[in-house]
Amino acid sequence: MLLYCYTAGAFALNPSHDTLIAKDGFAASELDLRPYINSLSDKEGHLTVQQVTHLPFTPSPQLFHDYKKNNGQINNCWLQLKAKNEGTTPLNVILFAGWHDFMYWYEKPPGDTARLLMQTGLMADRGGVERWDHYGFNINIPPHQSRTFYLHIINKSYNENPLTPTLFSEQAFARFHNRQQDTYRKETVVIQVLLGMLLVFFSISVINYIQLPDKSYIYFAIYILGLILFFALRLESKPYQLSFFHRWPMLKYYWDIPGLLFCFYLMYLMFGNTFLNLKERYPFMEQVFAWVSTIVGGLIIVCMYCILMEQYHLPVIIYSYVYFCTLIPLLVVFVALARRSRHHPLVRFFLYGSVCLYLACLGSFLMHIRPLGLLSALGELAAPSMLLIGGVLLQAMFFLAGLSYRNKLVHLERTRTQELLIKQLNKNKELQRKLNEQLEELVKEQTTEILRKKQELEEQRKIQLETEYDKKLTEIELKAIRAQINPHFIFNCLNSIQLFVMQRDYEYAQKYLSDFSYLIRKTLDFSRRNFISLADEIIYLNTYLGLEKMRFENRMEYEIVVDPEIATAELEIPAMLLQPYVENAVKHGMTNPQQPIGHLSIHFNQVAADMLECVIADNGIGIARSRSLRTLPQHHQSSGMEMSQNRAELLNKMYNTEIHIEIIDRSARNEEDSGTVVRILIPQL
């Protein structure tokens, strides 16, 4: 009562002017300024201090509160304080209104414009490890003068810190500072101890990962690192506590709700997935964990984007939905894991740690419901309450104990495996000794057999040399036959070119020469090879028949039909085997006076898995009639078909194949029919 009376004597309120009047004998105590302060709301946020000085201020008792409050919107307000010093000494006091996001302190002398004295705020202050003095605003008034002060407060966070403007003398402000430090010093010490323990856990997990590379250690280390950053930033919420990140004041907002999602959901799920080896033991639960982790990762990015856009309430809403939507599913997961804990001992460590944090978060949430409401209480889970700190420590301890137990299981498994390997090695040595004895006996027996085999090999070598000699001789004969086939073909083509030149058809002669040069190149190429692909043979025959069709002036038609099941690029046939028969069919098949147009058809059929059939048919005069007419000179003898037959016999002898050639005269079967059919069967090597 004496203190109150003494304070009331130092300050007196003039109700008619709302002016704080200070007289001599000011008491070194504190004064609640709410009755002396008027306010102005700036919802649009466009007012300047020069505009504000001309606007009316009104008392707003509901604006002030001495506890943390959820405003439901951004609070942008101006506070006005009019003070007059009627004493004979200068007035030097300090105004303290709490810790807010942005704070601007202006002074306006009578008849002058307002000027900015100081600016600070939790979202803007980057100065020093302890920033207590940044939030005390000095009021200096000379004797017998008055001043008007304006305090512009902007709280972009919906959960607003206590807003109670209080006036202190310098000595009272120092005592208030000490009381506040004593109040929160224990909390700071607890957080620092927690950070030290988390650093120890982090170091242990890294060392264990080096000894036993396992993803579980990596996820646990990242989880602990996220918790270290999370709790270290909790010291930033009050400027009189030790600060580690004072140079980045916005970092505590970016790692507030996103930090909760990252640590308590994303890394928790990823660690549980690898620690319990859900992919092999519980595939369905592993898929659920993977999907939820992906969704939470996306929500973290969305929350950071909302904070970047200064929508600080949206992350709280997002986290509230995540928290409520996962309460029941987490209980279901805990029950499912509890049923399997007998068969999987690691489940117990994971389950105990999860339940500890689950209950701690739930208790911390319930503690904040009454002062802040349902939605805002979720945002205050970031507050480092003793319950939450205890839950985090217990969870980290259980998880680390589980990892250590897992190391023990791995070590036991390795020891058991090494013992089995040693036993198997001893068995192998004994078996090796017995085998050596058996091998010595076997070597003695095989020595005699080797000498006998050596004699047999010498005899076989002689036989093989003779066989190779016969094979080379056969190849030489085959090349000689191909050398006979090629000049025969070239001679016939030159006759065709000579005919075009004599007829003065130079355009056809030029085209014929171009195609003929292609045939010469291919003929020389094929003459050096024993086998070519069926695709190359078809292209070669097409080019040749095209030249012959030009020579006969379209009195000739031909077709080449290939079975669709035949892989022409992979199947091989002897080079220059079919050309003599095609050439003979053209020569004798196009001279039938009863047929105005000569028809020639070539069919390739796959008659068996390893047998290719080629059928060459024409509608000419036939073999018997061709011999009776003998249109060629007596001294001329076409030996192309005979050489092809000889070549087929050599190929059969050389490669042990059975190339079969059958020539059929249609007129021999039916006098009304005409033409010749050549059927060639080519086996595949």
Q: Report the CATH number at residue 80.
A: 2.60.40.2380
User: CA-to-CA distance for 419 and 427, rounded, in angstroms?
Assistant: 12
Q: What are phi and psi of 8, to 5 degrees?
A: -65, -30
Encoded tokens for 326: 């996962």
Please check whether residues 138 and 187 belong to one and the same domain: no
Residue 545 burial (C-beta neighbours within 10 Å; 0-12, 13-18, 19+): buried
Please check whether residues 203 and 328 belong to one and the same domain: yes
pLDDT beneath 50: ranges in the chain: 1-17, 483-485, 632-637
The conformation of residue 266, written as its DSSP 8-state character, comes to: I
- Residue 358 belongs to what domain range? 181-416
Quick one: which H or E segment has residue 76?
Answer: strand 75-85
Does the global pTM surpass 0.75?
Answer: no
Distances in Å between the Cα of 187 and the Cα atoms of 1, 160, 193, 260, 395 are 33, 20, 10, 20, 20
Q: Which ranges of 340-385 does DSSP label H, i.e. alpha helix?
A: 346-372, 374-379
* Strand runs labelled E in 86-126: 91-96, 102-108, 115-120
Please check whether residues 411 and 505 belong to one and the same domain: no
Say if CB 159 and CB 257 are below 8 A apart. no
The predicted pLDDT at position 471 comes to: 65
Q: What is the mean pLDDT of the chain?
A: 81
The predicted pLDDT at position 10 comes to: 41
Number of separate domains in the chain: 3
Chain segment 101-146, per-residue pLDDT in tens: 999 999 999 888 899 999 999 888 887 777 777 889 999 989 889 9
Please check whether residues 185 and 304 belong to one and the same domain: yes
Helices (H) and strands (E) in the chain — how many of each?
19, 20
The predicted pLDDT at position 389 comes to: 84
Please check whether residues 375 and 327 belong to one and the same domain: yes
Q: What are phi and psi of 140, to 5 degrees?
A: -120, 115
Residue 146 burial (C-beta neighbours within 10 Å; 0-12, 13-18, 19+): middle
On whether residue 510 sits in a domain, the answer given is: yes
Last residue of a domain, one of 362, 385, 416: 416
Please check whether residues 204 and 155 belong to one and the same domain: no
The predicted pLDDT at position 5 comes to: 39
Say if CB 39 and CB 57 are below 8 A apart. yes
Please check whether residues 376 and 236 belong to one and the same domain: yes
User: CA-to-CA distance for 644 and 647, rounded, in angstroms?
Assistant: 5
User: CA-to-CA distance for 92 and 133, rounded, in angstroms?
Assistant: 15
Please check whether residues 185 and 151 belong to one and the same domain: no
Q: Identify the bridge partners of residue 681 per DSSP, sorted by sequence position.
A: 613, 660
The predicted pLDDT at position 550 comes to: 78
User: CA-to-CA distance for 239 and 234, rounded, in angstroms?
Assistant: 11
Please check whether residues 28 and 135 belong to one and the same domain: yes
Say if CB 200 and CB 220 are below 8 A apart. no
The predicted pLDDT at position 639 comes to: 58
Last residue of a domain, one of 395, 416, 437: 416
The conformation of residue 16, written as its DSSP 8-state character, comes to: T
User: In Å, how far from its chain's centre is CA 426?
Assistant: 48
On whether residue 428 sits in a domain, the answer given is: no
Encoded tokens for 348: 């117990």
Q: Report the CATH number at residue 596.
A: 3.30.565.10
Q: Which of 108, 115, 117 is nearest to 147 (CA)?
A: 108
What residues contact residue 380 under an 8 Å CB cut-off, 6+ apart?
Answer: 68, 159, 364, 368, 372
Please check whether residues 212 and 361 belong to one and the same domain: yes
Chain segment 331-347, per-residue pLDDT in tens: 888 888 888 767 677 88
Q: What is the DSSP string of 418-461?
A: HHHHHHHHHHHHHHHHHHHHHHHHHHHHHHHHHHHHHHHHHHHH
What residues contact residue 526 under an 8 Å CB cut-off, 6+ apart?
Answer: 532, 536, 540, 575, 576
Please check whether residues 333 and 395 belong to one and the same domain: yes
Residue carrying the six token digits 């997961």: 333
Radius of gyration of the chain (CA): 52
On whether residue 396 sits in a domain, the answer given is: yes
On whether residue 469 sits in a domain, the answer given is: no
Q: What are phi and psi of 27, to 5 degrees?
A: -80, 140
The predicted pLDDT at position 559 comes to: 92
The conformation of residue 44, written as its DSSP 8-state character, comes to: S
On whether residue 5 sits in a domain, the answer given is: no
Q: Which of 356, 352, 354, 374 is nearest to 365 (CA)?
A: 374
On whether residue 24 sits in a domain, the answer given is: yes
Please check whether residues 58 and 106 belong to one and the same domain: yes
Encoded tokens for 51: 């505009």
CA atoms within 13 A on the CB side of 466: 6
Encoded tokens for 452: 């006998």
Last residue of a domain, one of 386, 416, 446: 416
The predicted pLDDT at position 28 comes to: 53
On whether residue 213 sits in a domain, the answer given is: yes
The predicted pLDDT at position 107 comes to: 94
On whether residue 9 sits in a domain, the answer given is: no
User: CA-to-CA distance for 543 and 556, rounded, in angstroms?
Assistant: 14
Chain segment 203-218, per-residue pLDDT in tens: 988 888 887 788 888 9
